[in-house]
Amino acid sequence: MSTPRHHVVIGSGVAGNQAAETLRQRDPESRVTMITVSKLPFFNRYDLPRVFRGERDWRKFVIYPAEYYLDNRIALRRATKVVNVDGTRQTLTLEHNETVRFDTLLVASGASAYMPAELAEYQPLMHAFGAFRDAVAAADALPKDGHVILMGGDTIGLDLGRTLLDVGYRVTVVAEKHTFWPHEIAAEDRPRYIQALADMGFEVVDGHARGEIAAVRAGAPGLSPRRVVFHDGSEIHGDIVMPFFGVAPALDFMLGSGVDIERGLLVKPSLRTTNEAIYAAGDVCQIWSDADKRYHFYHGWKNVRAMGELAARNITGADEPWAPIQDESLPLATDGRIHSPFWEYA
């Protein structure tokens, strides 16, 4: 009797979960292992703004319960960090030094919030928004009718901002080059998009005109708890400061793997890396486009899910190329507001 193939998936986000499900369906005899540093198995981060509406029960955000993984014979290893991948030996190393062998590996480790190097030292004074506990900490730090300063204002931040306005908070966006990320807005269109933010109820501060953000500081007694200081000497005050400067692929553990990396893991249209046994999907990978003759990131949950499915199909014998199913434009709605189809989760 031959040994079943061992498919390992790193990451339990949209891409990893879709891939594990597809692997299980298409290769019923195989072993499927999903390794994730997350404590929650698969939670709905698109719904995280609901924490600011008062929802504090983490179970309401979980998409698949633990039984799902048992029923589908997917070995889920939570709170487990991959620290190294050896592409030649087809092994990976976990933080506690265990080695896991794979026949195929899908890297779906996503991306984490990008922080410009010059602002990194002020991170302890900022509130993140990547995980459930981050959202709870930020919501707890906000008084009723409080004031939130969104630095940058990528699409994740603007999406949260909409909820904050709706709940009655005051929201200031410090606009700079990452505002609207990952959408690319032409310079001539930018004023209309900034105006749309103002029409939606955001207070917009032009960070570029103030010489860019210089520092984030704690407020003085009698002032708001946080100050954002600009290079021209001006400052704005708020209750919490949240960074939204886009995301950077999470791939430190792949640096010694022998796989080609640029900003993300470089993959062919089949989502295979430069190693036959290793594929990548989701926010971590950059996919070659024959039409443009360059590598592209594709974002948005529909694209990410489709990548997970395609990688799993190709791992299990298909030979299909990537075709995005969601475009990256950011249309202004007829009411002048921004309703990004890209971020709508349905």
Ligand X SMILES: Cc1cc2nc3c(=O)[nH]c(=O)nc-3n(C[C@H](O)[C@H](O)[C@H](O)COP(=O)(O)OP(=O)(O)OC[C@H]3O[C@@H](n4cnc5c(N)ncnc54)[C@H](O)[C@@H]3O)c2cc1C
Q: Going by DSSP bridges, is the β-strand pair 147-152/170-175 parallel, antiparallel, or unpaired?
A: parallel
Where do we find the tokens 């198995």? Answer: 41
DSSP 143: P
129 is a site residue for ligand X (CB under 6 A): yes
- Residue 180 contacts residue 155 (beta carbons within 8 Å): yes
Burial of 79 per CB tally in 10 Å (0-12, 13-18, 19+): exposed
105 is a site residue for ligand X (CB under 6 A): no
Q: Which amino acid is at 39?
A: K
Residue 319 has a CB neighbour count (10 Å cut-off) of: 8
338 is a site residue for ligand X (CB under 6 A): no
324 is a site residue for ligand X (CB under 6 A): no
153 is a site residue for ligand X (CB under 6 A): no
Closest separation in Å from C-beta 180 to ligand X: 14
Q: Where are the beta strands (DSSP E) in the chain?
A: 6-10, 31-35, 74-77, 82-86, 91-94, 99-101, 104-107, 111-113, 147-152, 170-175, 203-206, 213-218, 226-230, 235-238, 240-244, 247-249, 265-267, 278-280, 285-289, 294-296
Closest separation in Å from C-beta 334 to ligand X: 22
Site size for ligand X (CB under 6 A): 35
Q: Which residues pair with 148 in a beta bridge?
A: 171, 240
> Binding to ligand X (CB under 6 A): which residues in 302-321?
304
Q: Which residues pair with 244 in a beta bridge?
A: 152
Q: Where does this chain touch ligand X (CB under 6 A) — which range of 4-12, 171-179, 221-229, 268-276? A: 4-12
130 is a site residue for ligand X (CB under 6 A): yes
10 is a site residue for ligand X (CB under 6 A): yes
250 is a site residue for ligand X (CB under 6 A): yes
249 is a site residue for ligand X (CB under 6 A): no
Residue 110 or 207 having the CB closest to ligand X:
110
174 is a site residue for ligand X (CB under 6 A): no
DSSP 128: -
Closest separation in Å from C-beta 42 to ligand X: 8
166 is a site residue for ligand X (CB under 6 A): no
Contacting residue, 8, 9, 14, 149, with ligand X by CB under 6 A: 14
Contacting residue, 7, 8, 9, 15, with ligand X by CB under 6 A: 15
**Binding residues for ligand X, per CB under 6 A?**
10-16, 35-38, 45-46, 48, 81-82, 108-111, 129-130, 156, 159, 250, 253, 282-284, 299-301, 304, 343, 345
